[in-house]
A and B are shown apart, each in its own frame.
Chain A
Amino acid sequence: MACNLQTSFLPALKFPAEATLDKRRGNGLVVCSVASAADSIMTESTPTGSAAVVRSRPLSRREVETSERKMTDTTGKFGRFGGKFVPETLMTCLSKLEAEFNLVLHDPEFQEELATALRDYVGRETPLYFAQRLTDHYKNESGCGPEIYLKREDLNHGGAHKINNAIAQAMIAKRMGRKSIVAATGAGQHGVATAAACAKLSLKCTIVMGTLDMERQASNVLLMKLLGAEVKSVDGNFKDATSEAIREWVGNLETNYFLIGTAVGPHPCPSMVREFQSIIGKETRRQAMERWGRKPDVLVACVGSGSNALGLFHEFIADEDVRMIGVEAAGFGLESGKHSATLAKGEVGVYHGAMSYLLQDEEGQIVGPHSIGVGMEYPGVSPELSFLKERGRVESYSVTDQEAVDAYQLLCRLEGIFPALEASHALAFLDKLCPTLPDGAKVVVNCSGRGDKDAPTVFRLTQGSSPGDHKRHPVSP
């Protein structure tokens, strides 16, 4: 039996009881199934004989609620995912952070101050916009098709959903008496949001960004500098920036606060980020009720690391009749090796302090991800999303760079909205989704950011074409 579970387990850790190993090695077919619930194991016929495999079955309501409770326990585990795989030096810091997080969750004064900031500074609540022309585009010959609504996170201050979390955490940092914030950013949206929040709250701000990303999202770098942040460059991209930022944080734990931008990292980071982003879903529920008197039927969001997706989904996890679709970046195609489709092609491992799906090679080394959507380029993914995917609560698909660029141009032309290339991945999936949906199904797509930052990229890609030609522009490797 070969265990192909790549981890960097600490010696004291116990192997989680719910883990399943279904890797096949060599000529023999050995499948080891270890599950906590006996009825999760089914016998299935396969080409080489029968095998016992674990299949995810739909979660019952009780199981979901139990899982929810488990999620907020102090080990920070989502099933077998999550946790706190960090050096000892960080354990105390993380515990303090978790304690503060629990305090603010129940502190009415903090909640009111946050609500005011979200309303007056960030510009919430964001509209749930009925995209008439996009809806018409997806109607079939008989005029039937789903209704597409866009949750307009692009209208937030800073231009993306990132600020929901950045402003809340900056407020926590201030509460804790920290003087300076350090953060890592990929596309730059989290960097801009953090720099803005720090300016407003009078905190020193250092943003770490990979040189590759700085080139591709140069306008965001300028914005950060104008907002008073110091921008530190490291070779590589977001994953390298994150590692450097953590190093910077560990070097100065008393005065520094590491402001994580997405739902990854050691506990309590994934829970914190998800909690602060969950306002997206909460507003959506209320707006859906006002608009059409019930819940959405399908939720669609792009998945880089998972913060905007979890922000939309979390509110509806216990509503089994609401489908949740995460769309990852297939880059040049899943078989090309140049993509960021972690949930599709990754294997379980530990990265940046948490156990989750991860793009890794045979030796457990991180595989460099690729996507035209810079914010999608992360080899890992939120542990909570890994859990929800494995349990079958969230469906996961992927779209290529070309499909994303096409969707970008389509939304510009039909609705006059520039979506971020990241959000364009979610929009691109509508091509495959809509023909399968019943007439009048209510689809909510998280328009997680605006695409002004991506216009130069799309511009460069299309420079070979004649002026005014806004047809399909090929994206070449």
Chain B
Amino acid sequence: MAASAKTPISRTQTTSLYKPYSSSLQLPFKFLKVTPNSCAAKALSICCALQMEPKVGPGSQVPDSFGRFGKFGGKYVPETLMHALTELESAFRALSGDVEFQKELDGILKDYVGRETPLYFAERLSEHYKRPNGEGPLIYLKREDLNHTGAHKINNAVAQALLAKRLGKTRIIAETGAGQHGVATATVCARFGLQCIVYMGAQDMERQALNVFRMRLLGAEVRAVHSGTATLKDATSEAIRDWVTNVETTHYILGSVAGPHPYPMMVRDFHAVIGKETRKQAMEKWGGKPDVLVACVGGGSNAMGLFYEFVDDEDVRLIGVEAAGFGLDSGKHAATLTKGEVGVLHGAMSYLLQDDDGQIIEPHSISAGLDYPGVGPEHSFLKDLGRAEYHSITDEEALEAFKRLSRLEGIIPALETSHALAYLEKLCPTLPNGAKVVLNCSGRGDKDVHTAIKHLKV
């Protein structure tokens, strides 16, 4: 294949392509799109022009107009949904520049959600990581656990509900696994007086009866899904089916930075307030930027919310921590970015846990929120770029970290967040004295007490 890049760099390179074309094919340089050139072609040769991707960052067009982050992302959906997605994207772009909308959203984030959340210096945790000579990093926790409903999820739920209202939609749908996203969606629907339907796997409904009750108290209708394994991925499919049928009146509140464009971009932008506040607070507290940002990664929304602000600051390290469940070699984990391969799930191209036949592998993590076989396409992009590092932590390590923060700081973290906290054990010994680490404390752990007590035998 002969290829030439557009100005300013001109390069000719020959690569052989072998059938069957593997989705993990690595080309010698990164490209955005392929435009066939008409040229005198020999048989079995392709001429095309390749465009180099622009430098990544909040200022640049990430994602592009197709919703792609490099090769990831996109809109792999049935034709019936294309219009809804386009409409949603236009509305989102329009409202991002709308001062009234921003003001209303800011007011709700302040008075209803309780923002801004503090950047808390975890003194005893930092002490714990000091080396024998007294040196060590300084750990700060971004307290998303203090938000109304106890996690970062509400930042996005509230904004999407407001967006839906502006779009004239009266009906909201969502899917939920353990119930946290369902409760957050039901909460905002109650607040805005919107009809709310939550799809939940019948198996999950049995295991999470209290969350089902809470959603109903909030006025939502919880619909049981009996197909497949009657769990999250089946609930998601059912929700998408509903949306296809009722697209005129209905908005689908997706809970993470996964899914078809514009969701990954929208959800990231609605959570970006986390990173924005962090920058301001870091400047106030120590007159500089953080050195390292750490966050757990399930779908990836809390991590993108913290990271996005700093993607262009090359001197800020970005670390995502996934769930290694029973261990990466056990086959029972949810470490998508470490063990997954590129494919399409729920409308987007991204890394995902799939077997040789391209079937989804059922993931496992002690924490429901990390128990997802895919990951947001922007994370896949940042990983391939080398801009962010991704590691993983086992169930056991997460439980230890859960206990550690409870005992040292009197803050009970969500089991999801505990994965990020557990990674500090490996990270801190490598950091220079006084390095500023900001960890996203994405949720509180009240919901996890029974699980923790069972395992920790407190």
Contact = CB atoms under 8 A, between A and B. Distances in A.
Interface string A451-469: 0100110110000000110
A200 B121 CA distance: 11
B453 A226 contact: yes
B114 A152 contact: yes
Interface string B136-149: 00000001001110
B143 A202 contact: no
A127 B190 contact: no
Contact of B410 (A198, A452, A459, A467): A198
A196 interface: yes
A413 B121 CA distance: 37
A412 interface: yes
Interface residues of B, number: 46
B120 A226 contact: no
Interface stretch (B22-30, B211-219, B234-242, B329-337): B211-219
A120 B411 contact: no
Nearest to B150: A452
Chief secondary structure at chain B's binding surface? helix
A156 B456 CA distance: 27
Contacts of A452: 446
A431 interface: no
Nearest to A412: B217
B441 to A, nearest CB: 11
Given A120-B121, A459-B213, A413 B218 contact: yes
A225 to B, nearest CB: 5
Determine which residue in B112, B117, B210, B407 has the highest number of CB atoms from chain A within 10 A of its CB, and name it: B112
Given A458-B217, A468-B222, A470-B219, A226 B111 contact: no
Interface in B182-229: 186-191, 193, 210, 213-214, 216-219, 221-222
A200 B189 CA distance: 36
A226 B114 contact: no
Contacts of A470: 216-217, 219
Interface stretch (A1-9, A38-46, A128-136): A128-136
Contacts of B222: 468
Contacts of B186: 416
A235 B411 CA distance: 29
A100 interface: no
Contact of A199 (B110, B147, B407): B407
Contacts of A155: 114, 146-148
Contacts of A414: 190
Interface residues of A, number: 45
A226 B412 contact: yes
B217 A413 contact: yes
B406 A199 contact: yes
B403 interface: yes
A110 interface: no
Contacts of A212: none
A197 B193 contact: no
Contacts of B315: none
Contacts of B117: 123
A467 B222 CA distance: 10
A227 interface: yes
B118 A200 contact: no
A446 to B, nearest CB: 15
6 contacts: A121-B120, A155-B146, A219-B446, A222-B449, A227-B406, A416-B218
Interface of B: 110-112, 114, 117-121, 124, 143, 146-148, 186-191, 193, 210, 213-214, 216-219, 221-222, 403, 406-412, 445-446, 449-450, 452-453, 456, 458
Q: Closest 8 CB pairs between A and B?
A: A196-B410, A199-B410, A416-B190, A416-B187, A123-B146, A155-B114, A416-B191, A120-B118
Given A119-B118, A225-B458, 18 more contacts: A152-B111, A155-B148, A199-B406, A200-B124, A222-B458, A223-B449, A225-B453, A226-B406, A227-B410, A413-B190, A413-B219, A414-B190, A415-B190, A417-B148, A459-B210, A459-B213, A470-B216, A470-B217
